[in-house]
Structure 1
């Protein structure tokens, strides 16, 4: 199997999708360190695999990564809170207004390669707890940097 066509990971011995399912299982256990980083991890994965990114979720994924780099999980929590409040049927404009222009930078095509991928975060395919948060931060930085490059 060759490298992932979207993020450039080697996919040896597991595909990005296989690794993503392992990560989701850990995330949904809501245990440290995986659970609290669920939104950040999903945003990284989707922005590195844009064929899987729903058209109306790009702004929230991008806003999540920017919030994480700017203020950590506290800032992500504030963003999610604003989006939830903005999603109320009583608020005109909805979540899009809350996120403002948080869409990823316009590019003719998504970045073809990233310096840190889900494969790097997975280490041996098990997403070890030791230094998981540091690997997710590196993944986030690599994702944002690649999308910003050339804009």
Structure 2
């Protein structure tokens, strides 16, 4: 079987999509270590599968990864909080908060294969808690490095 056309991960025994659905189920349980890293995990997945990037071309995902790598979850939570306040009906008419982080590379920019993918973080497909935080940090770093 061919590897994933976007991230290069093996498609067996489970595809990127299947692994992502498993990860989302863990994230939405809101239990550590998965729940607190939900935004970072989704950002990694989207930037490694650019055909799925939202209308902002991944600007928020890119900013989240930079915030995480530079300041950890505290910086991610501050960024998400500013974005939520900017999306509030109370903020109508005011400019949206600036998204922090390095300039987003062009969506179609050539990039290398990723040295860490969802397949690596999943380990055996279960995203084991003992390895998850370290795996997500490596996933985030590999994602940013590949898009430089």
TM-score by length of 1: 0.89
Change in 2 beyond 3 A, CA 1:48/1:110: farther
- Alignment check: 8 A CA contact 1:69 1:141 kept: yes
Q: Shift of the alpha carbon at 1:39?
A: 0.2
The 2-side partners of 1:58 and 1:11 are apart by 24
Unaligned runs of 5+ in 1: none
For 1:107-126, what aligned pairs fall within 5 Å after superposition? 108-126=108-126
Distance in 1, Cα, partners of 2:88 & 2:12 = 44
**CA deviation profile, 1:69-104 (whole Å, cap 9, x unmatched):** 01000000010111112223435222xx42167552
Look up the match of 1:54. Answer: 54
TM-score after normalising by structure 2: 0.91
CA 7–21 in structure 1, closer or farther in 2 if over 3 Å, else same: same
| Partner in structure 2 of residue 20 of structure 1 | 20
The match for 2:134 is 134
Shift of 1:68: 0.2
Gaps of 5+ in 2: none
Aligned CA distance change for structure 1 residues 57 and 39 (closer, same or farther; 3 Å)? farther
- The 5-angstrom pairing of residues 62-81 of structure 1 reads 62-81=62-81
Change (3 A) 1:27 1:37: same
**C-alpha displacement of 1:57:** 5.4
Conservation of the 8 A alpha-carbon contact between 2:4 and 2:10: yes
Q: 2:95 aligns with which of 79, 85, 93?
A: 93
Greater Cα offset, 56-65 or 26-35:
56-65
Kindly tell me the number of residue pairs found equivalent between the two proteins. Answer: 146
